[in-house]
Chain A
């Protein structure tokens, strides 16, 4: 079975440019999570969706960050304009949540973002 697929794997761009990160969750999963990982702050939850609806975006650092989930098989995280402090590894994860039982989150291999 295909896991969570993220693209691109690496992105290097100049400050001020728009960056779009993409995620394809595991088929059948109904919750999707975006994380940012840095040495200083560890693994931070940015935003998560359930059934394509954003549930909690309180982790999004600034208005420069936005995320969408137009359908069950695709999500994007956009940074506009990008800044050097946005450099990090961004992970997408998905899970098959039910009210009766928590299910594990499955992570993609991340996008390593470098803003020059």
Chain B
């Protein structure tokens, strides 16, 4: 089955700096890669996603890049703010008929210091 590895497990940055989180996946049939942000006491919330026919996608201060050949994708957050502090998860869909099943990475705890 699909395996998703996420790094780093913790990331600490100063406000205004950029943050990058990287993930690799194993299933070459995967074609959908969402990123989630989880705040304390809440469920994971989708912040951006990318499909395999696109190499990069941006939404204001966040962007995601995808390298299908190398089977890795990354989340980039620019001009970080304290409210960006949260746990971030990457995910990849399972190939074939999986009814939307996702495999999640282990999560990255991002801390943005004012």
Q: Which residues of A contact B (CB under 8 A)?
A: 4, 31, 33, 42-43, 45, 48, 50, 55-56, 91, 93, 95, 97, 99, 101-110
Contact = CB atoms under 8 A, between A and B. Distances in A.
Contacts, number: 56
A109 B101 contact: no
A31 B100 contact: yes
Interface string B63-104: 000000000000000000000000001000100010111111
Given A42-B104, A102-B31, A104-B49, A48 B99 contact: yes
A54 to B, nearest CB: 11
Interface of B: 31-32, 34, 36, 41-46, 49, 51, 89, 93, 97, 99-104, 106-107
Contacts of A108: 43
B69 to A, nearest CB: 20
Contacts of B45: 107
Given A42-B106, A102-B32, A102-B93, A107 B44 contact: yes
Contacts of A105: 34, 46, 100, 102
A97 B42 contact: no
Contacts of A97: 99-100
A105 B47 CA distance: 11
